[in-house]
Each structure stands twice: as C-alpha cells, then as structure tokens.
Structure 1
Amino acid sequence: MPRVLVVDDAPSMRLLIRTNLELAGFDVDESVDGVDCLEYLAATETLPDVVTVDVMMPRQDGVATAAAIRSDPRTADIGIVMVTTQNHPADVQRGLRAGVDAYVTKPFDPDDLVATVRETVHRRGSD
C-alpha cells in the first residue's frame, strides 16, 4: 500500500487530504510543518512514497522543505506534490525548481488530488 506524508499547518486541511487518500487506499501520516516533516523523515525507517506539502507554513515553508527532501540522498526519490493556494506562475516555478513533481491548487477536487498522488507514486516508482 503506498504511503503518503501529508504536511500542512491547518488541521482541517490535513484531515481533508488524509481522508481522501485513505479512502483511495493510501496509508497516511501527518506533519504540521516543514521542520516537523524533515524530523519525521529523519526518524522513520519506512519512508513515504509521496509527500504532499503546503507552501505557506510556519517555521519552514513548503518550497524549502521540498528542496531539503531533494538534497538528502536518503529522501531524494520521494515524490513531492505541492498542495497550496499559491498558484501564481512564479510560485509554481519556485516549486518546480525545488524539485516538486506535481502541483495541486486549493481548493481542489478530491479526485484530482488522488489521481495526482497516484500518478506521482507510479512515476517516481518507475524512475
């Protein structure tokens, strides 16, 4: 079963993403921000297949978090899906430069989110 780490500072958004992914058959864990995400990744033996990450978060934003995931050889192959309200082309480019695989804009269609995460699992798994 594919594993996803949901990173968002809003509890309601984590619950929404988690619920939709669990209903689609994913195993889901949560982190409250970028620092918490990186601490989780450093401590866990079983890395997630995909991390969904918000851009605007306290302590460390999603772009810096994505860059940190990509820069660590242990986590560099994890898929990253940015789930955010920040949809200006410059924001998208910042995310892509940091190593984000896909971009989902809030508010999102749950089916689109699930399809994007599934595609990212498939694409990263076939690299």
Structure 2
Amino acid sequence: MTNDPIRVLAVDDSRTVRRMIELTLERAGIHATVAEDGIDGLDRLGAMDAPPDVVITDINMPRLDGFGFIERVRGGDRHADVPILVLTTEDAPDLKRRARAAGAKGWIVKPFDPPRLVGALRAVAGR
C-alpha cells in the first residue's frame, strides 16, 4: 500500500460539479484533475505523467459523452485497466448496463454524498 495521494481524473461538463468534486477530493487528500467533456478528458488523460488511480465521468456531455469516453479509454493500452466510476443524474437500469458493458466499475447518482464518493474512490483504488 502506498502513501501517495490517490489521483483522480474527473470528467463533467458542469463547472459547478467539477468544482464540487475538486473541493470534496481536496478535503479528503485526493488529487483531482478535472476535464470538461470526454474529448478534454482524453486529452488530459494522455498528458498525465502517471495514470490516475480512478476516473470519474458524467454521461451526458457535449462533444464526447461518457459512454464514448469510457469506450475510448478501454480501447487504449495505457489506461485500459484504470477503474472508471460514472457520476451522473441518470439512474435508468439500461444506462447502467450500457456503462458496465463499456467498462465502468460503478455508478453514483448526482447529487453525490461527499463521504460516499470518497469511500467509493478509495474502494476502487484499493486504498
């Protein structure tokens, strides 16, 4: 087990949600990099020195939605094994199945409970 902070990439088109995620994770000692949509998320992911421990993504976003983002991350070599959690206002079972089929490990409905989000991130990061 490492003492390094957990590194998270959070992808969401809402500036407010990105800021809430940043503040929540910062308070928990988790390092967050944020992106505004799937395209920006792929760019930031590619620019990271080390892979994040966990990726969080929204589903409904412009340019590249969460499903496309997950599929592109899973389709590459470098980040194919990074756990991905979906954080969205959606809760339909068919969307959850689609996200899992694309490669997501979990689903959290907004608005999120900060301790629950941090707990989920620590669980999937193994810390």
Aligned match of 2:119: 115
Unaligned residue ranges in structure 2 (runs of 5+) = none
Aligned match of 2:30: 26
Amino acid aligned to 2:11: V
TM-score by length of 2: 0.93
User: What is the distance in 1 between the residues matched to 2:27 and 2:7?
Assistant: 13
Aligned match of 1:52: 56
Across the aligned residues of Structure 1 and Structure 2, the Cα RMSD in angstroms comes to: 1.1
Aligned match of 1:38: 42
Q: Give the share of equivalent positions with the same residue, in percent.
A: 38
Q: How far did residue 32 of structure 1 move?
A: 0.5
Deviation string 1:25-78 (CA, Å, 9 cap, x unpaired) is: 101111110001111112222221111100000000001101111111101111
Between the two proteins, the alignment pairs up a number of residues equal to 123
Aligned match of 2:67: 63
Unaligned residue ranges in structure 1 (runs of 5+) = none
Deviation string 1:82-113 (CA, Å, 9 cap, x unpaired) is: 00011100110111011001110011211111
User: What is the distance in 1 between the residues matched to 2:97 and 2:25?
Assistant: 26
- Which residue of the other structure, out of 84, 94, 109, is the alignment partner of 1:90? 94
Matched, 1:105 2:109: yes
Moved over 2 A (4+): none
User: What is the distance in 2 between the residues matched to 1:114 and 1:44?
Assistant: 21
Q: How far did residue 17 of structure 1 move?
A: 1.0
TM-score by length of 1: 0.93
